[in-house]
Amino acid sequence: MRIVAGSLKGRKIPAKAAGASLKGGLLRPTCSKVRESIFNILGEKVKDSVFVDLYAGTGAVGIEAMSRRAKTVFFVESEGKRASGIEGMLSGCGCRPGAVIVRKKASAFIRDALREGFRADIIFLDPPYYSEELDNTLNLLSDGRLLKEGGLVMAEHHSKKILPEETGALMRRKSYKYGDTSLTLYKAGR
């Protein structure tokens, strides 16, 4: 995997270094075409943003956000080996300042962030496709309190899964399909 654009364009992200064992088929790194689409959709909103990469896995999406000048990126990854791999890669590319590695499950991060008054500009979530995580996490984010004004939630999911038009304060803006993968963009408020 390689960084698609920005200050780190072309830099390799070795999945193995990020603890990206495909054992059990649970880790499915976001391919470069979809990553490029994510950041084309988000555009200039990434610059100077507080970006949360829930279910960070290899860290590719969060590193791409850093390459595109996000101010701070939170890499939320509960699996210790993957989190350590992300930390090593960030140190190796000089990106460690501005990166926060959170070794928690997404639900625990959201709960703690709400309690602490944390707010993000962009939350990207890419949980395992065939789990209940996407529905559960969207439900936890549905009141919009974790987002700054005008904040966005982008969910990557299997294209056969249709997400709701709205979930609480989150309103679906658009869905994009790339083969078996879809991206659904939500914005807080109407």
Mean pLDDT of 178-189: 93
Range of the domain at 77: 23-188
Residue 176 lies in a domain: yes
Which of residues 30 and 101 earns the better pLDDT score?
101
Residue 6 lies in a domain: no
Note the pLDDT of residue 26: 46
Whether the predicted pLDDT of 165 surpasses 90: yes
Residue 3 lies in a domain: no
State how far the Cα of 44 lies from the Cα of 133, in Å rounded to an integer: 29
> Among 96, 99, 91, 49, which residue's Cα sits nearest to residue 69?
49
CATH value at residue 48: 3.40.50.150
Residue 1 lies in a domain: no
Given pLDDT bands bounded at 50, 70 and 90, which one contains residue 122?
very high
Residue 80 lies in a domain: yes
Residue 5 lies in a domain: no
Whether the predicted pLDDT of 21 surpasses 90: no
The answer to whether the CB of 77 falls within 8 A of the CB of 101 is yes
Residue 14 lies in a domain: no
Residue 90 lies in a domain: yes
Whether the predicted pLDDT of 90 surpasses 60: yes
Per the structure, the count of domains in the chain is 1
Q: What percent of the chain has pLDDT over 70?
A: 81
Q: Are strands 72-76 and 50-54 parallel, antiparallel or unpaired?
A: parallel
Planar angle of CA 49, 55, 57, nearest 5 degrees: 105
Mean pLDDT of 144-159: 95
Whether the predicted pLDDT of 85 surpasses 80: yes
Given pLDDT bands bounded at 50, 70 and 90, which one contains residue 24?
very low
State how far the Cα of 40 lies from the Cα of 113, in Å rounded to an integer: 27
Which of residues 89 and 8 earns the better pLDDT score?
89
Whether the predicted pLDDT of 127 surpasses 50: yes
